[in-house]
């Protein structure tokens, strides 16, 4: 039994196809990511799965139901964390959870006890009667996630869950999401952060211009589309392109970016030795492991964060 199955999913706004024939499946308990730059069609896909946007064509089943026909039934079993927090600023923290639960038609008493549990989970118990505006960015995000869990959903949809948060807040949030995953909640998330996808996703698709470029686990994607290591060398803005011409043949592949040259090789240090052996003196050099960023660059010829 799959929890989401999409086949040839298309969403057109006038002439523009935001999602252009996307197919994938998500199994229960899986943590699945949509990775891509801004404007790739991730959020639109999420909105269709969340039954708040009708598709133009293709097939889509969420929890076995057609979202265009059974919007309320599907939404009643989903938790949605939108890209921008849309907490109710006229209500206090705990009131936000309770009121949201009432939107699902849940009885008041059940919602009240669940709200207290979720405040614990979100580490906000001591903030229960604070105003929303008094919370930090990370706290607001955790409250939004707690709110999305009020109806004990089968699946959580997270749109760019940590965008705009500082590193510490991101790690707290990842920890909370990881706990949910351990408890068996299905997670579907979009991100343009590689480290986030690597941390949280069992499996992901790389999306660009509304199409799926590749699919797999983070490790398998890196194996398939990149080398084990990457050597980054800088020769100064004016000289990178010229220097790259003399690097041909080192490693498996070269990428010339405006500010640096990437040399893909299984052994980065060995590649660096070869570079200097050709009489080139880079201003700086760095050897690192390949990441999903490199996968994206390979697939699209563009950098993910522009």
Nearest 10 degrees: Cα torsion 132, 134, 139, 144: 10
Q: Which is nearer to other proteins, 221 or 250 (CB)?
A: 221
Q: Which of 65, 87, 128, 299 binds other proteins (CB under 8 A)?
A: 87
Segment near other proteins (CB under 8 A), from 48-56, 244-252, 264-272, 291-299?
48-56
Identify the residue among 14, 15, 16, 72 touching other proteins (CB under 8 A). 72
Question: What secondary structure letter does DSSP report for 304?
Answer: S
Question: Judged by CB under 8 A, does residue 267 bind other proteins?
Answer: no
Q: Which listed residue (29, 37, 71, 216) binds other proteins by CB under 8 A?
A: 71
Q: Does 99 bind other proteins (CB under 8 A)?
A: yes
Shortest distance (Å) from residue 220 CB to other proteins: 19
Q: Which two tokens stand for residue 289?
A: 């492991």
Site for other proteins in 197-236 (CB under 8 A): 211-212
Does residue 151 belong to the site contacting other proteins (CB under 8 A)? yes
Tell me the C-alpha distance between 189 and 174, whole Å. Answer: 12
DSSP 131: B
C-alpha to C-alpha distance for 206 and 296, rounded to whole angstroms? 7
Q: Of 264, 258, 272, which is closest to residue 303 (Cα–Cα)?
A: 258
Q: Judged by CB under 8 A, which of 33, 36, 50, 161 binds other proteins?
A: 50
Name the one range near other proteins by CB under 8 A: 25-33, 74-82, 166-174, 295-303.
74-82
Which phi and psi (to 5°) does residue 178 adopt?
Answer: -65, -40
Q: Is 161 in the site for other proteins (CB under 8 A)?
A: no
Contact 289, 228 (CB under 8 A): yes
**Do 264 and 254 meet the contact criterion of CB atoms below 8 Å apart?**
yes
Retrieve residue 14's tokens: 């006038």
Residues that bind other proteins (CB under 8 A): 7-8, 10, 21-23, 50, 52-59, 68-73, 75-76, 78, 80, 82, 84, 86-92, 95, 99-100, 102-105, 151, 211-212
């Amino acid at each position: 039994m799959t929890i989401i199955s999409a086949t040839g999913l298309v969403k057109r706004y006038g002439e523009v196809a935001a999602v252009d024939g996307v197919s994938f499946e998500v199994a229960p308990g899986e943590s699945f990511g949509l990775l891509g730059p801004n404007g790739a069609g991730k959020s639109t896909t999420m909105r269709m799965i969340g039954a708040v946007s009708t598709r133009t064509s293709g097939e889509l089943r969420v929890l076995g139901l057609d979202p265009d026909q059974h919007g309320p039934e599907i939404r009643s079993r989903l938790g949605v964390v939108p890209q921008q927090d849309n907490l109710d600023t006229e209500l206090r923290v705990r009131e936000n959870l309770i009121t949201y639960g009432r939107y699902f038609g849940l009885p008041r008493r059940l919602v009240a006890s669940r709200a207290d549990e979720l405040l614990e989970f979100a580490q906000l118990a001591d903030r229960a009667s604070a105003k929303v505006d008094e919370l930090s960015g990370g706290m607001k995000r955790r409250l939004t996630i707690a709110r999305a869990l009020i109806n004990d959903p089968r699946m959580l949809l997270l749109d760019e869950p940590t965008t705009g948060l500082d590193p510490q807040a991101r790690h707290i949030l990842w920890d909370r999401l990881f706990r949910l995953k351990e408890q068996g909640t299905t997670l579907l998330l979009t991100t343009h952060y590689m480290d986030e996808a690597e941390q949280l996703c069992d499996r992901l698709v790389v999306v660009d211009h509304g199409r799926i470029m590749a699919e797999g686990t983070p490790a398998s994607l890196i194996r398939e589309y990149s080398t084990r290591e990457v050597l980054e060398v800088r020769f100064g803005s004016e000289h990178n392109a010229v220097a790259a011409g003399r690097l041909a043949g080192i490693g498996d592949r070269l990428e010339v970016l405006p500010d640096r040259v990437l040399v893909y090789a299984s052994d980065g240090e060995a590649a660096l030795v070869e570079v200097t052996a050709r009489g080139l003196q880079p201003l700086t050099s760095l050897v690192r492991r390949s990441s999903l960023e490199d996968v994206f660059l390979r697939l699209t010829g563009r950098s993910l964060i522009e």
